[in-house]
Amino acid sequence: MPITSLPALALAQKLHAGELKITEVLDAYYAAMDALDGQFNCYVLRTCEHAYARAALIQPRLDAGEIRSPLAGVPVAVKDLICTEGIETTCASNMLRGFKPPYSATAAERLWAADMILLGKTNMDEFAMGSTTETSAFGATKNPRNPAHVPGGSSGGSAAALAAALAPVALGSDTGGSIRQPASYCGVTGLKPTYGAVSRYGLIAYASSLDQIGPMGRNAADCAALFEILKGADPRDSTCVAHPNTPATPVGQLRVGLPAEYFGEGLHPAVAAAVLAAKDALVAQGATVVELHLPMAEYAIPTYYVVACAEACSNLSRYDGIKYGHSAAQAESLRDTYILSRSEGFGMEVKRRIMLGNFVLSSGYFDAYYKKALQAKSLIQRDFRCAFEGCDVILGPVAPTTAPRLGESLSDPLKMYLSDIYTVMVNLAGLPALALPCGADSAGLPVGLQLIGRPFEEATLFAAAAALENLN
C-alpha cells in the first residue's frame, strides 16, 4: 500500500517499528502534493523546511524507542486560522497576507509536544465564513471525489487533503458545521468537540462562543487519537476545561435518538436513505431507537447567523490597518486607513457578515434581534437537555444534500446558509458531534451522517462510529 494511503495510526505503527523513516513519509506526501494539489488547491502553504527540520529532531527519539504519542512522527495538515509561530497564518484573507504570528496556538503546541509534524496550512473560506471554501482569497478548493463540486467549508482544504490522500490527519475548526459539513461532502470523518474541550487560544476568532478546533481523519480511530492529543484544560483559555473522560456507552446498550425535524422537508431522499440505513445497522448491533422532537430546530439558522455575525463584527474590528495585517497604501488620513484597509482586505462574504452583525447590534435593533437570538439559543440548549433524558446519542444527516457544484452556493448566499441547517444547533448548544461517511448518492458523491452526544461524551460517538465502520 502506498505511504499516502495508510491511515494515520497504521502509518504511526510503521514509523514506530522502524519500517519507515519520517523523511520517507514527508517525501511521499510532498510528491503527492506536486502531482495533485494543483488540481484540488487544498493547501495555501507547504511548510517543507519546518517539516524536515522537525523530522531530524524526532527521528532519533523514535529510533531510541521514545514514543511520545500514538501519532508521533505522523504529519498533520492545519487549517490556516490556527496560529503557528513564525509561519504565515492568513485565514485565507488578503487582510492577513504575510502575517506570521509571534506564538503558536495551544492546539499546535500540543501537536508539537506529541511529536507530530506540520505538512502545511490548508485552504478555507475567508475567516471561516462560508460553507464551500470558495470565499478564500487563494481561490476555491475542489472536491477530490468530483472536482466539479465543492468540498464544503469552511474547513474544506483539510477535508479535501484527507480525501485526496494529501494528509493522514488534519485540524479544522467548527463554528456552525465547518468540520462536519466538509467531512460529509468529502467522505471523511471529523469531530466538533464539546465547547471547552479543546483550547481556542491561538485560534483566530470568528464567533468566540461557538468556535471549536477539532480533529479530522480518514476514520474514527485516527480522529480519536488526534482528539486525545488536543483536549484538556489550558490556563490561557478560560473557557477550556479538563476533560472528564466519560467512558463510552457500548453500542449494544445505546439509545439512538431520531429527531423528526431532521428528516422532513428539504432533505434529499438519497441522504435520508443512507442515514436511516446507518440507524438500522446500529439497531442490528443491539441499539434501540427513540423518536424525539427538537421544537426549536426551525429557528436554528436565524439564531445562529444573528449570534455568529454579531460576534464576528466585534472580533474583526481589530483589523484596522494599523497594528498588523493589510494597510491601504493610498490612505491619506486615519479615517482613510480604516475604510480603505478594510475595504481592500476583506472579501464580500466577510463584509456581508460584518454588516449583518453591526445591524443586529445597533441601537433600536439589539433587543429585536440579538437579545431574542440569545433567548432562542437558551431554548435550543433546553431542547437538547430534554432530548438526552431519553437517549444517549442523536443521529441525523450532516447536510440536506451531497456536495453542490462549484458556483451554485456562492451565487445564492441563502442557499449556502441553509446548508448548515442540521449542524448549527450543535454549536449553539455547545455539544460534541461526529460526522462520518455512510454511503453515496446516485452520482457517487459521499453522504455523511452526524452523531450528536452529551457534553464531554466524545468516547460514545467514537464507539458508535467504529461500530458502523466495522460493517463496511
Nearest CA among 171, 170, 164 for reference residue 211: 171
Beta strand 169-174 pairing with 75-79: parallel
Residue 357: Cβ within 10 Å count: 25
> Which of 104, 155, 178, 409 is the catalytic position?
178
User: d(Cα 12, Cα 34) in Å, to the nearest integer?
Assistant: 23
The angle formed by the CA atoms of residues 233, 235 and 236, to the nearest 5 degrees, is 115
3-class DSSP state of 80: coil
User: d(Cα 310, Cα 291) in Å, to the nearest integer?
Assistant: 34
Which element (helix H / strand E) includes 393? strand 393-397
Non-local (6+) Cβ contacts of 386 within 8 A are none
Q: Which three cell numbers stand for residue 68?
A: 511520545
User: d(Cα 472, Cα 456) in Å, to the nearest integer?
Assistant: 27
Report yes or no: 132 and 159 within 8 Å, Cβ to Cβ.
no
Task: Taking the CA atoms of 151, 138, 164 and 424 in sequence, report the sign of the dihedral they define.
Answer: negative
DSSP category for residue 190:
E
In the residue annotation, 104 being an active-site residue is answered as: no
Residue 331: Cβ within 10 Å count: 16
Report yes or no: 450 and 180 within 8 Å, Cβ to Cβ.
yes
In the residue annotation, 442 being an active-site residue is answered as: no
Nearest CA among 357, 382, 375 for reference residue 303: 375
Report yes or no: 132 and 352 within 8 Å, Cβ to Cβ.
no
**Which residue matches cell numbers 483559555?**
237
> Which of 69, 93, 131, 154 is the catalytic position?
154
In the residue annotation, 79 being an active-site residue is answered as: yes
Rounded to 5 degrees, φ, ψ at 324 are -165, 170
Q: Which neighbouring-strand residues pair with 348?
A: none
> Which of 79, 121, 142, 192 is the catalytic position?
79
Residues marked as catalytic: 79, 154, 178
